Amino acid sequence: MYSAAITGSGVFTPEHSITNDELVVAFNAHADLFNTKNADAIAAGTIAAKPHSSSEFIFAASGIERRYVFDKAGILDPARLFPKMPDRDDSEPSLMAEMAVDAALQAMAQAGKSADDIDAVICAASNHERAYPAIAVEIQNLLEIDGFAFDMNVACSSATFGIQMATDMIKSGSITSALVVCPEICSAHLEWRDRDCHFIFGDVATAVLIERDEDLQGAYFKIKSTKLATQFSNNIRNNNGFLRRTRDQMDDRRDMQFMQNGRKVFKEVLPLVSKHIAEHLDKEGLQAADLKRLWLHQANKAMNDYIGKKVLGRDPQAGEQPNILQDYANTSSAGSIIAFAKYSSDMVKGDVGIICSFGAGYSVGSVILERA
Ligand code: CO8
């Protein structure tokens, strides 16, 4: 049995960013338009008026200050409140493939590896922009990698589930290395016209290169172990899919975009995650005190504060549990990997940390790493 290591990571960040204030101005103008247009129905009580959003609420409830997006103009147009992304010809690279390639090249450069060194590509994301051919195969082709590639989706936990797939293949000897890429265009499946969630998501792509832990050079992280769990819940759901065409009047249905019962998710996922991490550490014979860093899923600052405190048995110190959600918002599967990519270079030989994702499914995934 071989062992595996993360030897490189990369983050592609879109050029446009939207602050909470900009978002709220656009949302409130949209709400005013909606209320004026539907004044009679609102007065008759058949439609509810849209209340205003507030920057103070968004920051206090989530810790989010801004988010990166591919298209700012469409999202901030009160008459639209949805990104506008030009259609691409089939001869051009798809957007998801393009952003993933950017992140992958950064991960490969960090590890000092080229396409010839890589056997597989896993595109792990919470949505894929087409049904087939797999985006992963397109990425493989753009990077000129021999071998195989496949797409997978476990919503916010796609990255950690992808890392376990790659690790297990490396351990068994069927491959020696794999890229796990997470291109997340969350802005296209967020409902920007819903005050309860319009602030939650942003766009980004991440990549990690995973290799057989043999003759490796430089700063890398041994993958000590991985642990995955799922438990069915309807509290985070998106009903868009290929059966859409077979059903009438689907286009404007609210459930064609991201929907959640945020309060329930908050309450139900927290104990699930804390228990999952405790059990994973226990299985590896580790104590919470052995953890130098927690790279957690980036959905909500209060959630991360709670998990950090529960796992460590005390308030996490500055830097022990880095958050990036203030700048990126929730980027689904990419969040914990952005935190890892940006806050791991200072760790020294023997330091142990844990990547942990959680989200729709419900799904929880954790990866225990040791700096080599
Ligand atoms: N401005 C002002 N007031 C607001 C706003 C707003 N924007 N939104 C809600 N309010 C009001 C509400 O109406 C409510 O008022 P009242 O008390 O009078 O009824 C009050 O504020 C409190 O509302 P909530 O209870 O909804 O607020 P919370 O404190 O629960 O905060 C959060 C809302 C931030 C959404 C919080 O519940 C949360 O973070 N929950 C966890 C969410 C989470 O982790 N979800 C995981 C989803 S990600 C995932 O799994 C990936 C899915 C695939 C990716 C999809 C990409 C698009």
Which SS3 state, helix, strand or coil, does residue 295 take? Answer: strand
Where does the pLDDT of residue 216 fall: very low under 50, low under 70, confident under 90, or very high at 90 and above?
A: very high
Yes or no: say if 202 and 68 are a contact pair by the CB < 8 Å rule: yes
365 alpha carbon to ligand 1 midpoint, in Å? Answer: 23
Domain layout of the chain by residue ranges: 221-371
- Rounded alpha-carbon distances, angstroms, from residue 96 to 18, 92, 100, 138, 297: 21, 12, 6, 10, 21
Which SS3 state, helix, strand or coil, does residue 54 take? Answer: coil
Residue 25 per-residue DSSP state:
H
Residue whose Cα lies nearest atom 35 of ligand 1: it is 262
Which tokens belong to 250?
């689907």
196 lines ligand 1 (CB under 6 A): yes
Entry pTM: 0.96
pLDDT of residue 178: 98
55 lines ligand 1 (CB under 6 A): no
Where does the pLDDT of residue 304 fall: very low under 50, low under 70, confident under 90, or very high at 90 and above?
A: very high
H or E stretch covering 43: helix 39-44
pLDDT in tens, 326-354: 999 999 999 999 999 999 999 999 999 99
pLDDT in tens, 146-204: 999 999 999 999 999 999 999 999 999 999 999 999 999 999 999 999 999 999 999 99
Q: Is the pLDDT of residue 249 over 80?
A: no
260 lines ligand 1 (CB under 6 A): yes
343 lines ligand 1 (CB under 6 A): no
Cβ neighbors of 370 (< 8 A, separation 6 or more) are 221, 222, 224, 350, 351, 352
CATH topology of domain 221-371: Peroxisomal Thiolase; Chain A, domain 1 (3.40.47)
Per the annotation, the verdict on 156 as an active-site residue is: yes
191 alpha carbon to ligand 1 midpoint, in Å? Answer: 13
Q: What ligand 1 atom has the least distance to the C-alpha of 156?
A: 51
